[in-house]
Amino acid sequence: MSERAAVLKVSDLTAGYGDLKVIFDVSVSAWAGSVTAVFGANGAGKTTLLSAIAGLVSVDRGTVLFNDADITKSSVHARSARGIGLVQEGKRVFKQRTVLENLLLGGYRLKRSERSAALDLAHDRFPILRDKSAMKAGALSGGQQQMLAIAQALMPGPQVLLLDEPSAGLAPIIVNDLLQSVERLKADGVAIVLVEQMVGKALTVADHVLALQAGRVVIDSSAAHVDETRLHAAYLGG
């Protein structure tokens, strides 16, 4: 996809937590209407990479460009306002709030007319959330909570969506539903960076593949030409 301009372009990123560096010289891009899948064993640096892109983790070296603008030193709020959405691992919704309240909180920056349109779009993408609008989020199934977390992140209309292990703890049939949602988001033109543990399923929606091992890139390939033997070896830490 190098012939197309990337919405998100991360170059030579080194980041971590204080003196503990977790990723080293990592480069990754995301394009409108595509999925960049990031794989690696536990501790490879996948979540740290997404957190650094979102601004939750400080960058020691390297650059983060969003539509060619340098946002490396921008705050989490500023990155979100520009159009970067993050769905963290663990179905992070406000469990004591209703489904509707969760969605409205996701669109708190929007004007009233924009919020109404965003809510309609969320319900079109995830009809179950319309049906359960008045239910407490904590009473939803795990898959429904994950859908709500994604819908909440989409409320402001981000151009880039960072998804961290959306399938974690979910039954395979629910994972299939989530990946179908990812396909629909691709069709809507969203650029997606997907961290996923289910390699085979993620490859069905991926356009580009990145594999991390001990915080460094060991595979950077189009999904169509990725060496799956090498990919599985990287995932297993081999």
Q: Which domain holds residue 105?
A: 92-157
DSSP string, 129-188: HHHTTTSBGGGS-HHHHHHHHHHHHHTT--SEEEEE-TTTT--HHHHHHHHHHHHHHHHT
**Token pair of 145 as six digits:** 């909570």
Residues 22, 124: one domain?
Answer: no
Q: Quick one: 78 and 44 in the same domain?
A: yes
Pairing state of beta strands 84-87 and 160-164? parallel
Q: Residues 211, 234: contact at Cβ < 8 Å? A: yes
The two structure tokens encoding residue 5: 């301009």
The tally of CA atoms less than 13 A away on the side-chain side of residue 226 is 29
Q: Using the 3D structure, point to which of 157, 190, 213 is the last residue of a domain.
A: 157
Same domain, 169 and 73: yes
Q: What length does the chain have?
A: 238
Do residues 78 and 152 both lie within one domain? Answer: no
- Domain end, chosen from 112, 141, 157, is at 157
pLDDT at 3: 55
Instruction: Please give the Cα distance from 85 to 156 (Å, whole number).
Output: 8
Tell me how crowded residue 141 is: count the other CB atoms within 10 A of its CB: 14
Cα–Cα nearest to 149, from 132, 163, 133, 128? 163
77 and 1 part of one domain: yes
In whole angstroms, give the CA distance from residue 38 to residue 190.
17
Domain boundary among 157, 180, 214: 157
* Residues 7 and 30 occupy one common structural domain: yes
User: What pLDDT was estimated at residue 237?
Assistant: 58
- Determine contact, residues 87/148, Cβ cutoff 8 Å: no
Other C-beta atoms closer than 10 Å to the C-beta of 3 total 4
141 shares a domain with 63:
no
Q: What is the pLDDT of residue 195?
A: 95
**Which residue type, as a one-letter code, is found at position 192?**
I
Same domain, 14 and 129: no
Q: Do 135 and 191 have their domain in common?
A: no
DSSP 8-state code for residue 31: -
Question: What's residue 2's pLDDT?
Answer: 47
List per-residue pLDDT tens for the chain, 238 residues long: 545 789 999 999 999 998 999 999 999 999 999 999 999 999 999 999 999 999 999 899 999 999 999 999 999 999 999 999 999 987 789 999 999 999 999 999 899 889 999 999 999 999 999 999 999 999 999 989 999 999 999 999 999 999 999 988 888 888 888 899 999 999 999 999 999 988 888 999 999 999 999 999 999 999 999 988 888 777 665 5
Please report, for the domain that includes residue 163, its CATH number.
3.40.50.300
Instruction: Judge if 170 and 234 occupy the same domain.
Output: yes
Strands, sheet with 191-195, edge to edge from the N-terminal-most edge strand: 84-87, 160-164, 191-195, 34-40, 208-213, 216-222
Number of independent structural domains in the chain: 2
Q: Considering just the CA atoms, what is the radius of gyration of the chain in Å?
A: 17
Two structure tokens written together for 82: 């520009």
Residues 51 and 104 placed together within one structural domain of the fold? no
Domain identity same for 164 and 153: no
